[in-house]
C-alpha cells in the first residue's frame, strides 16, 4: 500500500491527506464516525484542513453516507476537479 499523500507549504510538510490530486490541488478526506470524547481529533483535523485550504487547495469530505453511494461520491470529486 502506498503512503498517504503529503501537502507542503513554503515551510515544508503541512498535512498528510487520504487522497490528493496534486495538479488540480484537490484533497479528498474521509470523515469517519466520531465517538464521544474524540472531539479533540475532529478539531485537530479541521485545523489541519483549514491550513490546506488556506494554501489554495479544495478539500472534498467523504462521509460514510457518501461512501455508500459511489456514483454520487465520484460526481462530487469530479465536480471539485473540474473547478
Q: Is pLDDT of 1 > 50?
A: no
Q: What is the pLDDT of residues 7-65, one digit of tens each?
A: 877 787 788 899 999 999 999 999 876 655 676 677 888 888 999 999 999 999 998 88
The reported pLDDT for the residue numbered 37 is 62
Higher model confidence: residue 56 or residue 1?
A: 56
| Cell numbers standing for residue 51 | 491550513
What is the C-alpha separation between 20 and 6, in angstroms, rounded? 8
The reported pLDDT for the residue numbered 52 is 92
The reported pLDDT for the residue numbered 8 is 79
Amino acid at each position: 500500500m502506498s503512503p498517504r499523500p503529503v501537502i507542503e507549504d513554503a515551510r515544508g510538510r503541512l498535512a498528510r491527506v487520504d487522497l490528493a490530486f496534486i495538479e488540480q490541488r484537490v484533497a479528498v478526506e474521509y470523515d469517519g464516525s466520531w465517538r464521544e470524547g474524540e472531539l479533540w481529533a475532529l478539531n485537530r483535523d479541521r485545523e489541519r484542513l483549514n491550513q490546506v485550504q488556506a494554501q489554495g487547495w479544495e478539500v472534498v469530505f467523504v462521509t460514510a453516507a457518501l461512501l455508500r453511494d459511489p456514483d454520487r461520491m465520484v460526481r462530487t470529486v469530479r465536480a471539485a476537479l473540474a473547478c
